[in-house]
Chain A
Amino acid sequence: MIRILALSLSALGLVILQTSLVEFFTADRLSLEFTAVLVIYAALFLDTWTGAWLTILTGYCMDALISPIPGFYVLSYGVVFFALSSISNRVYSTNMLFLVSVTFLALLAEGIILVSIYYILYDMNVLATGLKVYLPQAFILGGLSPILYNFLRRLDRNGNGKREQQTQQP
């Protein structure tokens, strides 16, 4: 229960920081969805239920704070999560090039999903805008992904260590 609460608060905190600070530092010219990297990490390295919960929470917070249409980010993050989760056991790897490529492709896929939903629901082609937003983001976050995954792995390991210590205490 505590873990779920902590995950929920962390997801909300990350989304707030992302929406406020990243756009401030990039002067509103670049969008960097660290939340998407978190979802990819969850799909590749966390257990299914924790990862799915984190994905839905993060997507929901993104929807609430950024998207005018509820469900956009939940759907795109969810599809990315389940697609990666289903292949994660077959192609487990910590190879840097593999992680960079997977992150790059997953971020592009997220953009394509969002553009497709827009097209299906509103019959509007926002591909040009989508490319402007998601292509630079996929390059930058793909390049940063080994560092980000390393950071998340340490966080996860710290959390697990503390939990194990708590359960071992009489």
Chain B
Amino acid sequence: MSAPKQKKILIALVLFLLLTLAMISLHIRYPGSQEPLRQAILEIAAPVQSGLTATFGYLQNTWTEYLHLVGLREENRKLGKKIDELTNQLVEYREGHLEAQRLQALLAIRQDMKIASMAARVIDKSQATLFKTILLNKGTSSGIRAGLPVLSSRGVVGRVIETSPHVSRVLLMTDEKSNIDGLIQRTRAEGILQGNGSSGGRLKYVSNLEDVQAGDLILTSGLSGLFPKGLPLGSVTSVDEKADSLFQKIEVTPAVDFSRLEEVLVLDYRQKK
């Protein structure tokens, strides 16, 4: 390699390492701090992502409906055009109906919980990467701030970890960085539910002496003050009582199906100091 190029690479490398280390150190030292440039990118990207997600969601629904109706259309060629029109209408109505049902379920939770909350739409899901996060279409301008718990009609989704004026990022409970205090509803045994990085989690620190069975429901215990008590987290799928360990190995399936998440509720829940 020529000397000037080697020098160029070295200078660039040093600059780059300084920049990166500064970014990571800043985040570790001030975890809740907001970077204006990062926020700006989120703000610019959010409407585009939201539009793309909505468009492709619509196309997917239409395509699914179309596939269902292919056989019928062949038998009724004369009615084909009419069916297409009706299908499109049906997709729209069904979408509206399903959305109303989901929002109704969220509203019911909102009324039951007596904690101020706001509904938000999921605009992007990053679940195939190392990080399990989603983006919501509301941010600090709607009162959302880092640390707030996020729910769907079925249970806990995760918590807000980053916000910009109109977008917020939620760390899903399946992320390996997520730790939520939980308890087993039947026995009241407490533990920490940690995400396993794929589609579930493990309930840790539950003693071997506790009686845990597959199918047991896991709820938030409310001990850490991050989540209100009694929200569904998931259910036990398998229990392994290791003879050489003090604790049981408990695999948990989340109550929420993250692949079908469209609307969520962000609770304005104040942490206990």
Contact = CB atoms under 8 A, between A and B. Distances in A.
Interface string A3-45: 0000000001001110111011011111100000000000000
Interface in B55-104: 56, 60
B35 interface: yes
Interface string A53-92: 0001000110111111111101100100010011001100
B197 A23 contact: no
- Binding site secondary structure of chain B: helix
Contacts, number: 142
Contacts of B8: 48-49
A71 B23 contact: yes
A132 to B, nearest CB: 7
A52 B45 contact: no
Contact of A68 (B24, B128, B131): B131
A78 B128 contact: no
Contact of A20 (B9, B35, B49): B49
Contact of A24 (B28, B56, B130, B176): B56
B9 A48 contact: yes
Interface string B14-38: 0011011101101110000001011
Interface string A75-119: 100100010011001100000000000000000000100110110
Contacts of B9: 48, 82, 85-86
A65 B128 contact: no
A126 interface: yes
B128 A66 contact: no
Given A16-B48, A78-B16, A133-B129, A71 B41 contact: no
B63 to A, nearest CB: 12
Given A29-B128, A129-B198, A124 B41 contact: no
Contact of A130 (B45, B60, B130, B196): B130
Contacts of B23: 63, 70-71, 74
B185 interface: no
Contact of B124 (A20, A48, A61, A63): A20
B126 A19 contact: yes
Given A78-B16, A78-B20, A16 B1 contact: no
Contact of B16 (A52, A68, A72, A124): A52
Highest count of chain A CB atoms <10 Å: which of B21, B129, B161: B129
A121 interface: yes
Contacts of B45: 12, 15-16, 61, 64-65
Interface residues of B, number: 52
B242 interface: no
B4 to A, nearest CB: 10
Given A64-B41, A82-B9, A129-B198, A90 B128 contact: no
Nearest to A130: B130
Contacts of A29: 128
Interface of A: 12, 15-17, 19-21, 23-24, 26-31, 48-49, 52, 56, 60-61, 63-72, 74-75, 78, 82, 85-86, 89-90, 111, 114-115, 117-118, 121-122, 124, 126, 128-130, 132-133
Interface of B: 1-2, 5-6, 8-9, 12-13, 16-17, 19-21, 23-24, 26-28, 35, 37-38, 41-42, 44-45, 48-49, 52-53, 56, 60, 124-131, 133, 135, 161-162, 169, 171, 175-177, 196-198, 259
